[in-house]
Structure 1
Amino acid sequence: MAKTILFLLLAILSSATATTRNHHGHGDKLTRFHFYIHDIPVAAKPTAVEVAGAPSFNKSPVRFSRVSVVDDPITETPDPKSRILGRVQGLYAFSSQTEASLSVFLNIVFTDKKYNGSQINFLGQDPLGLKVREMPIVGGTGAFRFAKGYVEFRTLQFDPSTGNAILDTNVYVVRSGYF
């Protein structure tokens, strides 16, 4: 009986180790990033611009049908003058008729140091009323080829009169140890 339990325990441990290896035999690496996104639709040089919206929904309290293209700076601290690590580029659309919620299609484009030129791509639903919103990573380029993981947003600051916001952002990305 003891030998059977020991055998099962060893089998479970060896299979757990195998799941951390990719198809090339190399281990995957988890990288965590923490930064701030500055989404600024109202400014002398806006970083988010509304490009479409159905005229019939101009008075929608949840901005249903509005689509914006973004090129938001990513900074090291909440201060917009702090070191820029990259940009978030893509688009988001207000996609719910009943709540303030976005469908996002975005790319984290790194411009700083080690990851310069690499990207992390994510998409998903961003229900703005929630304290923490989570979206899946669907891919990447450069250092993040074959990326998977998730992105978390927390609204740090929001001005309802302009829509200007600072998002406290955590990224948990798993990338292949092969690259």
Structure 2
Amino acid sequence: MVKHDEKSYLGVAFKHLYFLYKLCKTNTLHKHISHKCFKIRTILAVARLVLLPLFSALLLATAVTTSEAFSKTVKAPYHAHKPKKLTHLHFYFHDIVPGAKPTAAMVAAGPNTKTSASGRFGMVVVIDDPLTVGPEITSEEVGRAQGMYASADQKSLGLLMAINLVFTKDEFAGSTASLYGRNPIMSKVREMPIIAGTGAFRFGRGYAQSRTFTFNSSMFEFGINMENAVKYNKSGIKCFL
């Protein structure tokens, strides 16, 4: 038999209800008392329907709190890295699709790519574009832009960019910054996020701003003036494209 705490409200209620129940079971009471006892039995039945689910919920809550939680927060096994430096990078990004020495290759197109309003929707291009100090492709190379972009706008030239900026010169040689975002290439200034990095730019985050320097629509050739600002730790980065 379950023992209830008499000091609690539930304990007191059960004590009185149990007393009335025993009283109603006696056959020596007057008829009008028996009639009242029938009402009490009805109340008890209703109370049972209400209280049983309540006790079930309490038991379930107790079981959940005593068992292992679905998830828990623990102390990080390493110290959090807060950005300590802000680096500005400036370079030119050359994207050439056709020609004798293309830096980009179209690998896929949709069934309606050519007939879409943008004329490019569904096009997927893989790139290995040079990053140079000056606007000429023959100027000093400081890295490569490797990855892909896809035309993801049906009405205008809007690209989904997913590329790694791989640096090859000076203190940033071997380091990368990952760029991922939307590039509305016909806009004067475009901004995209830098979401991560490696090497000198580990734990890096920032943004890239790009401006078209030259554009040959017949050859689909871009020369893009890029400025990057990247915040990073002892190893980190913030970029302008």
TM-score bracket, shorter-length normalisation:
0.7 to 0.9
Deviation per CA, 1:85-127: give whole Å up to 9, x if none.
0000000000011111000001100011211110000100001
What percentage of residue pairs aligned between the two structures are identical?
A: 42
Structure 1 unaligned residues grouped into runs of 5+: 1-21
Q: Partner of 1:43 in structure 2?
A: 99
Which residue of the other structure, out of 126, 138, 146, is the alignment partner of 2:195?
A: 138
Give the 5 Å matches for 1:64-75: 64-75=121-132
- The answer to whether the 8 Å contact 2:112/2:121 transfers is no
Give the 5 Å matches for 1:1-179: 23=80, 28-62=84-118, 63-177=120-234
Q: Over alpha carbons, which structure has the higher Rg?
A: 2
Q: Distance between the aligned counterparts of 2:83 and 2:211, measured in 1? A: 31
Number of residue pairs the alignment of both structures matches: 157
Structure 2 unaligned residues grouped into runs of 5+: 1-78, 237-241
Q: Distance between the aligned counterparts of 1:94 and 1:161, measured in 2? A: 17
SS in 2 for 1:56: coil
Q: Distance between the aligned counterparts of 1:45 and 1:59, measured in 2? A: 28
SS in 1 for 2:147: strand
* Displacement of 1:57: 2.3
- The answer to whether the 8 Å contact 2:132/2:140 transfers is yes
Larger helix percent: 2
TM-score scaled to structure 1, two decimals? 0.83
Structure 1 stretches of 4+ moved >4 Å: none
Q: Distance between the aligned counterparts of 1:144 and 1:157, measured in 2? A: 29
Amino acid at match of 2:150: A
- The answer to whether the 8 Å contact 2:126/2:149 transfers is yes
Larger strand percent: 1
